[in-house]
């Protein structure tokens, strides 16, 4: 029997142009999620697919082959206090969330993300 990987999609927005994109996370081992692909997606389509209806929790990493945000190519991610995800260049220490407009300092580690199934 062929076992499929546990894959979830996280909906994010580019912090430069506010356009949506999906991030594919694969659970490599129990509670260890790795971002390995990203793709542009309209938020209406992402919501229809249910990418905002679930949650993944644990440790998060980025695969070396991860292409980054499809809009600006930033390879890192941030989770705002509003719970939404955005791309990050790893350099700016004060950012503004493209979802809620809050500005703040980069700090902490995300322990969960809103996500939906890729099946």
In a domain, 2, yes or no: no
Q: Are 39 and 70 in contact (CB under 8 A)?
A: yes
Comparison of pLDDT for 51 and 40, the residue scoring more: 40
In a domain, 91, yes or no: yes
What's the mean per-residue pLDDT of the chain? 93
In a domain, 56, yes or no: yes
The pLDDT value recorded for residue 119 is: 59
In a domain, 21, yes or no: yes
Mean predicted confidence (pLDDT) in 94-112: 94
pLDDT over 70, % of the chain: 97
The pLDDT value recorded for residue 3 is: 81
State the total domains in the chain: 1
Range of the domain at 48: 7-117
Distances (CA, A) of 50 to 42, 91, 92, 112, 115: 13, 32, 31, 17, 8
pTM of the model: 0.91
């Amino acid at each position: 029997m062929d076992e499929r990987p546990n894959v979830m999609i996280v909906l994010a927005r580019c912090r430069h142009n506010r356009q949506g994109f999906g991030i594919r996370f694969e659970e490599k081992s129990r509670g260890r999620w790795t971002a390995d692909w990203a793709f542009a997606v309209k938020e209406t389509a992402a919501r229809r697919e249910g990418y905002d209806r679930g949650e993944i929790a644990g440790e998060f990493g980025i695969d070396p082959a991860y292409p980054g945000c499809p809009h600006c190519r930033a390879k890192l991610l941030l989770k705002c206090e509003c719970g939404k995800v955005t791309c990050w260049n790893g350099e700016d220490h004060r950012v503004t969330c493209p979802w809620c407009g809050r500005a703040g300092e980069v700090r902490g580690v995300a322990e969960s993300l809103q996500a939906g199934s890729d099946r």
